[in-house]
Amino acid sequence: MQMQINISNFKSLADVEIKPGQVNVFIGANGTGKSALLEAIGVLSAAISEKVDDALLSSKGVRLGTPSLYKSSFKKQDRLPATIGFNVRWNNNKGSWDYKVHLSNPVEKPKPAWEYFSELLNNNDKKVFGRSRASTYKIDNLPEFEIDSYKGLYSFLQGIKNDTINEGANDLYELFKDYAIFTPNTTTLRGIQTDPFQREPVGLLGGRLSEAVDDLLDIEEETFGNLDLYDLLDLLQWTNAITIGKASKDIISPSVPVTSKTIRFTDRFMREGRNELTPYDASEGSLYVLFLLVLAIHKKTPNMFAIDNFDQALNPRLAREITKVFCDQIIENKKMAFITTHNPLVLDGLDLNDDRIRLFSVDRDIHGYTKINRILVNDKLLSEGQSLSRLWVMGMLGGVPNI
């Protein structure tokens, strides 16, 4: 799907535009707005899928905040903006579409949910449906319906039999409705901390990784989803076998909490009978590799998702290799991913000659406004032996701190 997303008045994203591909990588100095961008898409997802309140935002991995923290508040602004705005344009076999929504919540006395100040859907420059405060939230073209100002029109229309909506505009709804930001941590991946944000196939912090791996692992066929099992083991190197089973007392302390199923790694260097490890003792990098591949391969992964700090706990060379495999799987499984990274070698795993894989730099200007630019690297520069990682470190791509 060819798509363009515009975001206005959200945190440092006063006015930004992105045209995403299937894999979208964002680089930038700390505090430039990379995570804010992922969260802005989370707010947009909530607006499209149902409503915008703390419960739904939290389930999507958006850090909860007050309207005064969500709305842009720059020194040069005379006053806070009244709304946060989003605009999505896309094309399909029904032509061009344009969805706009503005969300309102007072700063002085915040409400439990954000109000839909206005919402509009156009098809080929003609209004399909719309509503605003001026229309008392009655739906244009469907005057018999009136919708609560705290509920999304787009999701409401999914339940109405209308050819234009059901056959034309539901692709955006299906893409955005389950969007979530994944930020795994080691203790959750090891299974010793409960993930408060459980969902399919894994929790936002990495919960239920063993169950998700069990879904994909086929020992008899020697596959991990649609990936050859030995290609996975080549990434991990220290282990020559992965199975799923119960954690027996001889391989893990009885003081350590365990789930009914656990991943069992066989260390290829250790003596037989003493070479099995659970996630509690295994390399944390191996757990992150499995987590990333689960998201890229599993059928229950959201159609669109984000990973904040993609390279966490990964050796630079391993980060480069898993990036290549991750990109291939996202494309093959027809997903869309937004990821942030601070590891230069992640960039060397990107094939920027494939337009489905896109790299963006995120910077802030002298006034603090976030600026997002797509990075296009010409063949001449790369043919001279300059890797993307080196170009980034040299400051040739943007997205570096001014220190």
Same-domain check for residues 7 and 89: yes
Q: What's the mean pLDDT when you consider all of the chain?
A: 89
Q: Above pLDDT 90, what percent of the chain?
A: 66
Q: Are residues 171 and 194 located together in one domain of the fold?
A: no
Say if residue 193 is in the same domain as residue 335.
no
- Mean of pLDDT values over 157-164: 68
* Mean pLDDT on 228-235: 95
Closest CA to 307 of 6, 28, 58, 35: 35
- pLDDT for res 140: 60
Q: Is residue 400 part of a domain?
A: no
Predicted pLDDT of residue 86: 98
**140-154, 265-279, 356-370, 384-398: the lowest-pLDDT one:** 140-154
Q: Are residues 327 and 364 in the same domain?
A: yes
Residue-level pLDDT at 91: 93
Least confident among 16-20, 34-38, 112-116, 135-139: 135-139
Q: What is the pLDDT of residue 280?
A: 85
Return the higher-pLDDT residue of 344 and 135: 344
Q: Is residue 399 part of a domain?
A: no
| 348 shares a domain with 242 | no
- Tell me, yes or no, whether 135 and 33 share the same domain: yes
User: Burial, 90: exposed, middle or buried (Cβ in 10 Å; 0-12, 13-18, 19+)?
Assistant: middle
pTM: 0.94
Hey, which residues does 10 pair with through a beta bridge?
13, 71
Within this chain, do residues 26 and 53 fall inside the same structural domain, yes or no?
A: yes
In a domain, 134, yes or no: yes
- Give a yes or no: residue 403 inside a domain: no
- The mean-pLDDT minimum among 74-83, 208-217, 387-396 falls in 74-83
Residue 141 and residue 167 share a domain: yes
Does some domain include residue 165?
yes
For residue 334, pLDDT over 90 is answered with yes
Specify the pLDDT at position 141. Answer: 61
Count of structural domains within the chain: 2
Residue 231 and residue 358 in one domain: no
Do 103 and 74 lie in one domain? The reply is yes
Q: Please give the Cα distance from 184 to 188 (Å, whole number).
A: 7
Instruction: Look up the domain containing 353 and give its range.
Output: 3-180+302-393
Which CATH number goes with the domain that contains 319? 3.40.50.300
pLDDT digit string, tens, across residues 35-83: 999 999 999 999 999 999 999 999 999 999 989 899 999 988 777 889 9
pLDDT digits (tens, 9 = 90+) for 278-306: 888 889 999 999 999 999 999 999 999 99
- Does 398 reside within a domain? no
Of 288, 313, 338, which marks where a domain is finished? 288
* Mean pLDDT for the stretch of residues 262-275: 91
Is the domain of 14 the same as that of 105?
A: yes
| pLDDT tens-digit series, residues 82-131 | 999 999 999 988 899 999 999 999 988 899 999 999 999 998 998 888 88
